[in-house]
A = this chain, B = another copy of it.
């Protein structure tokens, strides 16, 4: 990632070399030298400039790259390059992923494709998130950067499996210009269409990542509205999505308003508890800061429980009447999360 950042600062890139198995993080000066050296060899083999090739690693933190094996593989890699290679690439970058994640979209004559790996925005040792999106549109490097920040960043930042940011998270957007039209510029109808197609691919990949979150049996969709500031809404949504008590309640399909209230209160956000409203699905379980006393006896709880049994569980939290809102996607915390991460050995 350090290498890729340095090279991107120098202009444009045409290729990316990805290895899975070793994350090449916490590997010190040797790790940096290995990355530089293998990237340069790959660029030479592919016949492009050294600064035109980026490198991503995913795998065990601290383990050195299997340098010789990678070097030996370069001629075959280059010989096998193909416009039909998307599936093979999406499979090759998987680590603890159980399914490959790909998405495509078309709009205004532009084609957008992407693939991703990882079990969240997160980092079990073998599960760093990497996402690659390509388009045939003709876009300047500055405008590509804008599209990445506007259309891809927010979507991948709004998913969380276990609240652990990774050492190696990367999202890359490439534009080939193969559609031959004029460069797409902000403020034009073509830009709107391209933006929307890229956003659609980003949303799909982000949702596929969270569905494949380690041990996940339910996706949590946390909508926070009515906050004073968007960042307050985001902080509350993250606190709820990352709360082990909310996540285990989701696994147990238990419509537990107390745990949601506790998670909301644990966010470092100033709020008035007496205007807090919470819904599970479309069932209101907290009204003006109070769980209705009849909730624990009756029909309301049964309705909320049905909503908890859905594969996508929606929790809506209103903090008041402010304009700030945020949506975060999370997942439940299951026995399988413990199995995958507790039985995995370095």
A-side residues, CB < 8 A to B, are: 23, 25-31, 60-64, 123-125, 162-167, 243-245, 248-249, 251-252, 254-259, 261-263, 265-266, 274, 286, 288-291, 293, 295-296, 301, 333-335, 337-339, 341-346
Instruction: Select A125's contact among B27, B163, B258, beta carbons within 8 Å.
Output: B258
Contact pick for A252, options B60, B265, B335, B343, CB 8 Å: B343
Chain B: minimal CB distance from A294 (Å): 10
A22 nearest CB neighbor, chain B only: B296
Which of A26, A31, A123 has the most chain B CB within a 10 Å cutoff?
A26
Provide the bound-state CA to CA distance between A289 and B335, in Å: 33
Residue from the list B162, B255, B341 in contact with A346, Cβ < 8 A? B255
Say whether, besides A28-B289, A125-B256, A248 and B342 are in contact (CB < 8 Å): yes
Q: Which residue of B lies closest to A125 (CB)?
A: B258
Chain B residue nearest to A243 (CB atoms) is B164
By the criterion CB–CB under 8 Å, are A60 and B258 in contact?
yes
Contact partner of A248 (CB less than 8 A), chosen from B243, B256, B337, is B337
A288 to B26, CA, bound (A): 9
Contact of A257 with B337 in the complex, beta carbons under 8 Å: no
Q: Could you tell me the distance between the alpha carbons of A256 and B63 in the complex, rounded to whole angstroms?
A: 11
Shortest beta-carbon distance from A167 to chain B in Å: 6
* Contact B26 A162, beta carbon cutoff 8 Å: no
A28, A162, A338, A344: most-surrounded residue (chain B CB, <10 A): A338
CB distance from A333 to the nearest CB of B (A): 6
Tell me whether A291 and B27 are in contact (CB under 8 A).
yes
With A256-B346, A334-B338 as given contacts, are A289 and B26 in contact (CB-CB < 8 Å)?
A: yes
Report the separation of the CA atoms of residues A31 and B290 in the bound assembly, to the nearest whole angstrom: 9
The 8 nearest A-B residue pairs measured at CB = A61-B258, A62-B291, A28-B290, A248-B341, A252-B342, A248-B342, A251-B342, A162-B244
A206 to chain B, nearest CB (A): 20
A335 CB to closest chain B CB, in angstroms?
5
Known: A334-B338, A338-B333. A258 touches B164 (CB 8 A): no
A245-B164, A296-B62 are known contacts. Are A258 and B26 too (CB-CB below 8 A)?
A: yes
Distance from A67 Cβ to chain B, minimum over Cβ atoms (Å): 12
Q: Which residues of B contact A257 (CB under 8 A)?
A: 26, 61-62, 346
Pick the residue among B256, B339, B346 that contacts A258 (CB under 8 A). Answer: B346
Tell me which of A28, A30, A258, A295 has the highest count of chain B C-beta atoms within 10 A of its own C-beta.
A258
A249 contacts B164, C-beta separation under 8 Å:
no
Least CB distance, A273 to chain B, in whole angstroms: 8
Apart from A26-B286, A164-B243, A244-B333, list 15 A-B contacts with CB within 8 A.
Answer: A28-B274, A30-B290, A61-B291, A62-B257, A62-B295, A124-B245, A163-B244, A164-B244, A244-B337, A244-B341, A248-B341, A254-B342, A333-B338, A335-B335, A335-B339
A261 to B166: give the CA distance in the assembly, Å: 10
Q: A167-B262, A258-B61, A258-B125 are in contact. Are A344 and B252 (CB under 8 A)?
A: yes
